[in-house]
A and B are shown apart, each in its own frame.
Chain A
Amino acid sequence: MRLEKVDSVQERNKLYLDYIEAKSPKSSWAKSLFHAFLVGGGICVFGQTVSDVLKACFPLLDVNIISSWVNVIIISITIILTGFGVFDRIGRYAGAGTVIPITGFANAIGSSALEFKKEGLVFGLGAKLFYVAGPVIVNGVTFSIIVGLIYSLIGLF
């Protein structure tokens, strides 16, 4: 980086940003992936175990109902851990490992509820419950529509 020799602010900023990009400390991909795999995989194994246990105990239950129960259990555990201030520590370690499963969504709602109830039930909790999760829903719905349209178009031929 030789900022001395540049004439314009744009040029200076570009040189500086390139320098910052190169010099900024990076997180280790391998380590992040391993942590995410470990915790994310662990959550999936736990979910599968709950599902198998439910199936063994209640053989007559419908598969869809069992999977709903698995979700309810995982979401409840996440919310309780969020309330006790433990889940953010797990998430800091796991990264995508806790964000991708339903735990990420549960934590986004739970942490917002905890945070914004101080501004009141209507304009605090009510208005900001989906502060973090809102964009997830909007994007989820949007992309579902796009994928659905593509599928129906493919189905025409």
Chain B
Amino acid sequence: MAKKIGVQTYKLDNPVYIVGRSSIVGDKEAKGPLSKYFLKSTTDDTMGESTYEKSERSFMQKAISFCLKNSKLNNADIDILIGGDLLNQMVTTNYTAEKFGWPYIGVYSACSTMSESLAVAACLLDANVGKYIMCVTGSHFASAERQFRGPLELASQRQTYSQWTVTAMGATILGKQGKGPKITHVCFGKVVNYGVKDIANMGAAMAPAAMETLVQFFLDTKTSPNDYDLIITGDLGKFGSDVLKDLLLQKGFKVGKNFSDCGHIIYDASQKTFQGGSGAGCSASVLNSYIVDKMEQKVFRKVIFMPTGALMSTTSNQQGDSIPCISHLILLEI
């Protein structure tokens, strides 16, 4: 059983290993700087389906199939599927769970869904619930755009502080035995709301959530930023990352070159995404490609993975409510 240390952090009795992983991205992401790390990419973001909602499902199902193949496990070896996505009622994951037929726990924390799934799965495995758990999440630019913004072909300008929802999926199988990177600590986030209402400015809304979880984790574990090779957030983007650094500095923690953000590194400046990528698939795909690759090469040995999620709905936003945000953290070691 995981042991609580401090206020929010849990140390696993037995580390939980990443035994399989996959990342699958769309065309724009495949043209970005992390191209060579992704397992698969496609130039057809419809995946041959008639709607973008269906193509998102198809992306997710492919990610799971590739992940199974990567782990050399069979369908029957998976005990539970944990995952979520950005679409209303998490239809993408629901239909995917129906297709594979595993017992399913749906979790939603918007773009922090990957770390939430992994944290929940790690605690379950540590408590002897199941042997292998599949975690999956992702996002699709077109389906997210039509749910959160408006028609795709609408000729409107984006704010300079906005971000671009990635078309990407990431799947991870966690198991109790393995030799790859392992999860040793998890820190469940609290909902944090600093009053930002502008849904185009996600970085500003989510940075305080990342700061509060990270600071609490440092206090709980009695560590500091220098103890880690990489501290990576999910989709704060360039602007949000700068805000987070400022907020951390106020709390007396200085992060340097070991800090990064998946959204910031997934696109380069020429791709005109302003502050970078966003969406649940952003951190999920970067974790299952670049981060774990580099850990297996022992470039990074201790990694804090802590994507952030904005928990508003379009309705709450139109009614003038500010954006509640959350950040769940996992510590990966090799």
Contacts and interface: CB of A to CB of B under 8 A. Distances in A.
A118 B195 CA distance: 36
Given A3-B250, A17-B195, A25-B160, A99 B155 contact: yes
B161 A24 contact: yes
Interface in B158-182: 158-161
A12 B193 CA distance: 10
Contact of B155 (A2, A13, A32, A91): A91
B154 A107 contact: yes
A132 B157 contact: no
B201 interface: yes
B204 interface: yes
Given A2-B250, A20-B196, A98 B155 contact: yes
A132 B154 contact: yes
B7 interface: no
B146 A115 contact: yes
Interface residues of B, number: 30
Nearest to B201: A24
Contact of B153 (A16, A24, A111): A111
Interface string A124-148: 0000000110000000000000000
A95 B157 contact: yes
Contacts of B152: 88, 111, 114-115
Contacts of A40: none
A7 interface: no
B51 interface: yes
Contacts of A3: 247, 250
Contact of B195 (A16, A25, A83, A112): A16
20 contacts: A3-B247, A14-B195, A17-B196, A20-B196, A20-B204, A24-B160, A25-B274, A27-B157, A27-B160, A82-B153, A87-B153, A92-B158, A94-B155, A95-B157, A107-B154, A111-B154, A115-B146, A115-B153, A132-B151, A132-B154
Interface of B: 50-51, 146, 150-161, 194-196, 201, 204, 208, 239, 242-243, 246-247, 250, 274-275, 322
Interface of A: 1-4, 12-14, 16-17, 19-20, 23-27, 32, 82-83, 85, 87-92, 94-95, 98-99, 104, 107-108, 110-112, 114-116, 118, 131-132
